[in-house]
Chain A
């Protein structure tokens, strides 16, 4: 049965520690620059986070998020400029509505919404970027592998 914490660990071998795959969609103007800021400030964040740069958080079709989960992401985080600071004036306001509805629906369908997070991170918040990523990786590691939204055919 599909349960939240069922992992494929082989009981006989010493199980390798669970390394979650995290996909981070980052807006070019704020969050991606924030990630750069984290780098230049030498703030560490876990290598589990794979950043996909998008021109605006609003570029992220909710399907990108679902597809990331389907193809094996254990957590997805979407980062954009703070509401009011969008490079294109209003993009992230639309993102906010879309993601609110998506989160609510995932919750309704019984899929853990903790696997999906939306954060507003500005270009100057490098340290905060690193903190958010670190805490998100911790959270997903605790939740274990994503099985509810993963397409088993995509599993290697």
Chain B
């Protein structure tokens, strides 16, 4: 990973000093060994701070919205899963291709610091990964953990190491984590519950939400300029707990709005400070779309029309959805 980071720094400096791009979106070192943050670099000198390791989970594609608005040609480092988001933004016509310089960046799975800490590790000073083993150095000593145990949840539904869009690539592709068997297993478990149980499950799950809107802000499919959640008059945006329905509404609207456009990057669930399992709602829509209208993967290119802007004459009737959606 250090080799890759060096190549990235070099590439960023080249692009900036040649004037090929005006800014570079990447990650900057945080204060700890595991809290790198997204950052925009505008000068070759600043690129000394550019880092890349297993703690760069953030999908940077959404920075391209501002880049397009400001008409700044932007180089952006994209892990394989992040490339889907860029395509979706291009398809939604929210980002203009001329302002994007996409750099495919190898990834072998990002790590979840919460899962690492859950092994009782404190005072972590350095974390490195090699060949499926995560070496955690702490002030008390070093411990090895199996990589698969501490991968981010989103990396357990990895779509592979291919870039869906890339103007150039950094180094060689790495082997990405094997995805879990059935991506829809959790959805099917809920579908199998009786309606009252399903209602209770969601009520409990969604009442954790503090309406911070982090899930909306990170999402490459959530890119409207005006959003109902910013309208205080709409009874869906309140931050204080007022009514359980409001929670259902917020999540129903959020998930529905990205249905057919959600690329399944899992960022919304990752950034949620409350651990709401909101990815399940996205997965449910994906599963329904696949079942009703044929396999579809949002973001795999920037042109295929989304399932909700196309139709066939023989589409299933809404009345059948209640039952059919469960198959």
Q: Across the interface, which residues of B come within 8 angstroms of A101, CB to CB?
A: 256, 259, 285, 288-289, 292, 308, 321
Selected interface stretch from B155-163, B196-204, B213-221: B196-204
Selected interface stretch from B75-83, B120-128, B140-148, B238-246: B238-246
Selected interface stretch from A6-14, A37-45, A147-155: A147-155
Interface residues on A, range: 35 or more
Q: Is B169 an interface residue, CB under 8 A from the partner?
A: no
In the complex with contacts A150-B245, A151-B235, A152-B243, A118-B311 CB distance below 8 A = no
Selected interface stretch from B111-119, B129-137, B294-302, B312-320: B312-320
- A152 vs B252: C-alpha distance when bound (angstroms): 18
Interface residues of A in 101-156 (CB under 8 A from B): 101-113, 117-118, 148-154
Specify the chain A residue showing the minimal Cβ separation from B320.
A100
Least Cβ distance of A71 to chain B in Å?
A: 9
- A99 vs B228: C-alpha distance when bound (angstroms): 20
Least Cβ distance of A118 to chain B in Å?
A: 4
- A100 in contact with B317 (CB, 8 Å): yes
- Interface residue from A2, A4, A84 paired with B203 (Cβ < 8 Å): A2
Q: Across the interface, which residues of A come within 8 angstroms of B199, CB to CB?
A: 2, 109-111, 148
- A93 vs B288: C-alpha distance when bound (angstroms): 17
Total of A-B residue pairs, C-beta within 8 Å: 124
Interface residues of A in 1-23 (CB under 8 A from B): 2-4
Interface residues of B in 70-126 (CB under 8 A from A): none
- A118 in contact with B317 (CB, 8 Å): yes
Q: Is B195 an interface residue, CB under 8 A from the partner?
A: yes
- A46 vs B230: C-alpha distance when bound (angstroms): 39
Q: Is B284 an interface residue, CB under 8 A from the partner?
A: yes
Q: Is A70 an interface residue, CB under 8 A from the partner?
A: yes
- A88 vs B298: C-alpha distance when bound (angstroms): 28
- A66 in contact with B249 (CB, 8 Å): yes
- A83 in contact with B313 (CB, 8 Å): yes
B interface size (C-beta, 8 A): 49
- A107 in contact with B293 (CB, 8 Å): no
- A96 in contact with B325 (CB, 8 Å): no
- Interface residue from B196, B228, B242, B311 paired with A93 (Cβ < 8 Å): B311
Q: Is A98 an interface residue, CB under 8 A from the partner?
A: yes
Least Cβ distance of A74 to chain B in Å?
A: 14
Q: Is A90 an interface residue, CB under 8 A from the partner?
A: yes
- A135 vs B85: C-alpha distance when bound (angstroms): 46
Interface residues of A in 48-93 (CB under 8 A from B): 62-63, 66, 70, 83-84, 90, 93
- A108 in contact with B191 (CB, 8 Å): yes
- A117 vs B322: C-alpha distance when bound (angstroms): 11
Specify the chain B residue showing the minimal Cβ separation from A99.
B318
Q: Across the interface, which residues of A come within 8 angstroms of B139, CB to CB?
A: none
Q: Is B307 an interface residue, CB under 8 A from the partner?
A: yes
Q: Is B309 an interface residue, CB under 8 A from the partner?
A: yes
- B243 in contact with A151 (CB, 8 Å): yes
- B315 in contact with A112 (CB, 8 Å): no
Q: Is B212 an interface residue, CB under 8 A from the partner?
A: no
Q: Across the interface, which residues of A come within 8 angstroms of B252, CB to CB?
A: 66, 105-106, 109
Q: Across the interface, which residues of A come within 8 angstroms of B196, CB to CB?
A: 3-4, 110
Q: Across the interface, which residues of B come within 8 angstroms of A152, CB to CB?
A: 243, 245
- A110 in contact with B202 (CB, 8 Å): yes
- Interface residue from A4, A94, A112, A154 paired with B311 (Cβ < 8 Å): A94
- A106 vs B325: C-alpha distance when bound (angstroms): 11
23 A-B pairs, CB-CB below 8 angstroms?
A2-B199, A2-B244, A63-B253, A84-B313, A93-B315, A96-B315, A97-B315, A99-B318, A100-B288, A100-B320, A101-B256, A103-B318, A103-B322, A103-B325, A104-B324, A105-B252, A105-B255, A107-B326, A109-B198, A118-B317, A118-B319, A148-B199, A153-B235
A residues near B (Cβ < 8 Å) are: 2-4, 62-63, 66, 70, 83-84, 90, 93-94, 96-113, 117-118, 148-154
B residues near A (Cβ < 8 Å) are: 187, 190-191, 195-203, 228, 235, 242-246, 248-249, 252-253, 255-256, 259, 281, 284-285, 288-289, 292-293, 307-309, 311, 313, 315-322, 324-326
Given contacts A97-B311, A107-B321, A109-B202, 17 further A-B contacts (CB under 8 A): A66-B252, A93-B313, A93-B315, A96-B311, A101-B256, A101-B288, A101-B289, A104-B324, A107-B322, A107-B325, A108-B187, A110-B195, A110-B198, A110-B199, A113-B322, A151-B235, A154-B235
